[in-house]
A and B are shown apart, each in its own frame.
Chain A
C-alpha cells in the first residue's frame, strides 16, 4: 500500500514542473485547502501566469496585504463584482497587442456563484480566452463564515446559525460546475485536493482549451476553520466528498460531460458530514434530505453525460 501511494505521489510530482512562487509562512489558516491549491496552480501552469483575485481568503497572500510573505506572480487585485470582466479586459488587450498569456481568474464561491456570477456568465457567453478557477469553500470565509449559494443544506454558518426555529441552511446548494458546463464553453471540470493528478491534468487541459476560449474549473477546497474540521483532515474531507458523490469529479468539453472518476459503490454522505462540526446538529432525517440531494445531483449528472454523449456536437464547436 505504501509503495502504491509513493508511486502515485511521484506521478503527481511529475506535473510540478515549475517553482512554487509563494514564500513560506503565508497567512492562511492551518489545513487551508485554498493554500494547497494556490501553490499548486503555478507549479503546474508556470510562473508566467497572471493571476487575478478578489477580496477574499486569498487576498492577504495573493494581493500582498501580508507584506512579510508574498509571491512573485503577476497579479491583479479585482473587485468581487467584476472579477471575470477584469480578466476579460486583460486578455482582450493582450490579444490586440499580440502578447501570449495565461490569465487565471481565481475566485471563491462567493464571487463565482453569487456576486460575480453575472460577469462570469458574460465571459462564458463571449467565450473569453482565460481560465476561471473557483475554489469552493462553501461560504464567505474571509468575512467570518457566512452562507453562500454553494453552502449545502443543513450547514451552519454565521448567517444560517443553529437556533430554536431555524437550524442551519434550509436551502439546497447550487451546482456551479453544471451551470457553467451548460454554457457549452470549451472546457469545464470539477476537481479537488485528494486527487491532485486529476487536478493537474485538468489544469493542463484548461490551458490548452483556453486557446479556443473560456475554461472553468470548480475546485472543492475545504475550510477547516469555517467548517469546524480538524486541520489534519483537509485531504480526507476531499476524499470522502468524492467517495460519497458529494462532490463528483467530471469534465466537459464543449458541454459534453464525462466522469473522470466513477464511484462504483458510493458511501453514505454521513461519512463525509461527520468529519466537520457544521453538520453536527443534523438529525437522521436532515441527513436523509442531504443524501437525497446528493443522489439526485449524481443521477442528473449521469443522465446529462449519457444525453450529451448521444448528442452530436456541432462541427463549429469541435477541435
Chain B
C-alpha cells in the first residue's frame, strides 16, 4: 500500500486499491470479504488496513460470496454501515441474497468488478454480470476510471443510507481494464469524507433490528402488503435519480470534482452524433472524440453513470434531436436485436426527435475496445446520420457475426 503522498494527496494506485481506500474512508462497521479475480486486491487491501488497525471494522472472512452478501445485509438491517466486494461468479453466487437485500431495503454498498459469466469460464472483462443482475432492485453505478471508483464509493454511502432512499448500491467497474490499472488518484482527507457523510447523521434514524424490540425483517408477505412494499421500492428507485444528481453537486462543492450525476455528457451540446457508453470504454471514446473534433467531426459521448434505475429522462434530454446515436454494449441481451442498453434506450426512440439508433457490441470476453474500434463506430454512426444503410447491430471485434446475420 502506498503510504507516502506524492504531492498533497495524489497516489498512483489501482482501481481496486481506490475502492478499498474509499471503503476505509467511509468507516464501515462490518465488511465481508471473499476473494475472486479480479476483485481480490480490494479485500486484501481492506484486510491489511484491518490488520494494522487503520480500519476499525468487524471483518468477516466468509466461506463464500453468498455468505458475504447475507452477512452484510443482516449487519446493515441491524443498523450498521457495511461494505463488500465481488465479481462475476461471486455476484451470481450471492444472487438470492442480492435480491433479498434489495427487497429488505438494506443500504448495503458494494463494488462489483465486472467480469464475464457465461459457461465458458472466462477470466476476462465484460459487463454480463451486471446485466444479468440489473433488475435485482439495486442502484447500479458505473465508474470510468480509478478516481471515479473512489468518488462513486463515497457517494454511494450518501445515496444508499439516505433516509428517503434506503436502497443498496453497487458500484461497477471493468475488471482488468480498471481493477489492475494504476493511475493518479486524489485521496480525500478523512475529515473531508466525514464531513461529506455527516449529513446522514442529521437525518431521521432508519428502522434497525435490535434485541428486545418487537421488530422483524424478512416477513413472509403476500398480496396487498407485498404490493405496497414493491411499489415503494420502485418509487424509491425513481427518487434516487434526482438524489444522485444532488449528491454529485454537493460532492463537487466539497471535493472539487463533478461528474454530472446520472449521466456525464462529453461534448454533446453541438454534436450531431453521440455515442452512448459506460465504464472504462468512455475514456477511450473521449480520446478518439478529441481527435475527431480536431477534424471538425461533431461527435459527443453520453456516459451512463447510473444504470439502475435506468436514467431514461436524462438520456432523452441529452439525446433528443441528435441525428444518430450509437450505443456501445459490453454484454448481450438474448432475443433482442442489439445489446441490452441499446434495447432499453430503443424503448424511448419515439421521444428522441427522430434520432436514429444503432447498436455496437464490443469488449466482451476481454476484447479491447480499441481506438480503431471506436473510430469504426463513429464512422458507422456518421453514415447512419447521413442516411446510409447501416446494420442495426455490429459486433465490432467479430466481423464474422455481422456476415452470419440471419443465417441459422
A residues at B contact (CB < 8 Å): 47-50, 55, 59-60, 63-65, 72-79, 81-90, 92-97, 99-102, 118-119, 121-122, 125-126
Most buried by A among B79, B211, B220: B211
- B74 x A90 contact (CB < 8 A): yes
Chain A residues closer than 8 Å to B96, beta-carbon distance: 79, 81-82
Chain A residues closer than 8 Å to B406, beta-carbon distance: none
Chain B residues closer than 8 Å to A89, beta-carbon distance: 30, 32, 60, 70-76, 78, 82
Q: How far is the CA of A63 from the CA of B225 in the complex (A)?
A: 14
Assuming the contacts A60-B220, A74-B214, A100-B211, asked whether A92 and B67 have C-beta atoms less than 8 A apart, the reply is no
Chain B residues closer than 8 Å to A83, beta-carbon distance: 70
Is B169's beta carbon under 8 Å from chain A?
no
- B63 x A76 contact (CB < 8 A): no
Indicate which residue in B68, B74, B97, B219 contacts A63 across the interface (CB closer than 8 Å): B219
- B66 x A82 contact (CB < 8 A): yes
- A99 x B63 contact (CB < 8 A): no
Chain B residues closer than 8 Å to A63, beta-carbon distance: 216, 218-220
Q: How far is the CA of A99 from the CA of B77 in the complex (A)?
A: 14
From 75 to 95 in chain B, residues with beta carbon under 8 angstroms from any chain A beta carbon are 75-80, 82
- B60 x A126 contact (CB < 8 A): yes
Q: How far is the CB of B400 from chain A (nearest CB, A)?
A: 41
Q: How far is the CA of A122 from the CA of B61 in the complex (A)?
A: 9
Is B57's beta carbon under 8 Å from chain A?
yes
Is B184's beta carbon under 8 Å from chain A?
no
Q: How far is the CA of A266 from the CA of B271 in the complex (A)?
A: 88
Q: How far is the CA of A102 from the CA of B215 in the complex (A)?
A: 15
- B58 x A77 contact (CB < 8 A): no
- B66 x A119 contact (CB < 8 A): yes
- A48 x B211 contact (CB < 8 A): yes
Most buried by A among B58, B69, B97: B58
- A72 x B214 contact (CB < 8 A): yes
Chain B 287-316: CB-based contact to A (< 8 A → 1; otherwise 0): 000000000000000000000000000000
Is B119's beta carbon under 8 Å from chain A?
no
In the complex, besides A75-B217, A86-B74, 4 extra interface pairs with C-beta distance below 8 angstroms are A64-B220, A78-B74, A81-B97, A89-B75
Q: How far is the CB of A108 from chain B (nearest CB, A)?
A: 15
Q: How large is the interface on B (under 10, 10 to 19, 20 to 34, 35 or more residues)?
A: 35 or more
- B74 x A88 contact (CB < 8 A): yes
- B74 x A97 contact (CB < 8 A): no
Assuming the contacts A59-B220, A60-B220, A89-B70, asked whether A122 and B63 have C-beta atoms less than 8 A apart, the reply is yes
Assuming the contacts A92-B58, A119-B64, asked whether A64 and B219 have C-beta atoms less than 8 A apart, the reply is yes
Q: Which residue of A lies closest to B32 (CB)?
A: A89
Chain B 343-365: CB-based contact to A (< 8 A → 1; otherwise 0): 00000000000000000000000
Is B335's beta carbon under 8 Å from chain A?
no
Is B29's beta carbon under 8 Å from chain A?
yes
B residues at A contact (CB < 8 Å): 29-30, 32, 57-58, 60-64, 66-80, 82, 96-97, 100, 209-222
Q: How far is the CB of A45 from chain B (nearest CB, A)?
A: 11
Indicate which residue in B57, B71, B211 contacts A101 across the interface (CB closer than 8 Å): B211
- B70 x A85 contact (CB < 8 A): yes
- A90 x B64 contact (CB < 8 A): no
- A118 x B210 contact (CB < 8 A): no
Most buried by A among B30, B68, B212, B218: B218
- A93 x B78 contact (CB < 8 A): yes
Q: How far is the CB of B247 from chain A (nearest CB, A)?
A: 25
Most buried by B among A64, A76, A77, A85: A85
Indicate which residue in B58, B74, B212, B217 contacts A87 across the interface (CB closer than 8 Å): B74
Indicate which residue in B70, B210, B216 contacts A82 across the interface (CB closer than 8 Å): B70
Q: How far is the CA of A6 from the CA of B72 in the complex (A)?
A: 48
Most buried by A among B71, B100, B220: B71
Q: How far is the CB of A169 from chain B (nearest CB, A)?
A: 28
- B211 x A102 contact (CB < 8 A): yes
Most buried by B among A59, A87, A97: A97
Q: How far is the CA of A77 from the CA of B209 in the complex (A)?
A: 12
Chain A residues closer than 8 Å to B63, beta-carbon distance: 118-119, 121-122, 125
Q: How far is the CB of B24 from chain A (nearest CB, A)?
A: 15
Q: Which residue of B lies closest to A75 (CB)?
A: B216
Q: How far is the CA of A79 from the CA of B211 in the complex (A)?
A: 20
- A77 x B216 contact (CB < 8 A): yes
- A96 x B80 contact (CB < 8 A): yes
Chain B residues closer than 8 Å to A94, beta-carbon distance: 78, 211
- A122 x B79 contact (CB < 8 A): no
Chain A residues closer than 8 Å to B75, beta-carbon distance: 89-90, 92-93
Q: Which residue of B lies closest to A63 (CB)?
A: B220
Chain A residues closer than 8 Å to B80, beta-carbon distance: 93, 96-97
Q: Which residue of B lies closest to A48 (CB)?
A: B212
Q: How far is the CA of A209 from the CA of B72 in the complex (A)?
A: 25
- B70 x A79 contact (CB < 8 A): yes
Q: Which residue of A lies closest to B216 (CB)?
A: A75
Q: How far is the CA of A96 from the CA of B56 in the complex (A)?
A: 9
Indicate which residue in A55, A86, A99 contacts B70 across the interface (CB closer than 8 Å): A86
Q: How far is the CA of A16 from the CA of B78 in the complex (A)?
A: 28
Assuming the contacts A97-B79, A119-B67, asked whether A74 and B210 have C-beta atoms less than 8 A apart, the reply is yes
Q: Which residue of A lies closest to B215 (CB)?
A: A74
Cβ contacts A to B, 5 pairs, < 8 Å: A63-B219, A81-B66, A88-B74, A93-B74, A97-B80
Q: How far is the CA of A270 from the CA of B196 in the complex (A)?
A: 70
Chain A residues closer than 8 Å to B74, beta-carbon distance: 76, 78, 85-90, 93
Chain B residues closer than 8 Å to A84, beta-carbon distance: 67
- A50 x B209 contact (CB < 8 A): yes
Q: How far is the CB of A126 from chain B (nearest CB, A)?
A: 7
Indicate which residue in B58, B212, B214 contacts A96 across the interface (CB closer than 8 Å): B58
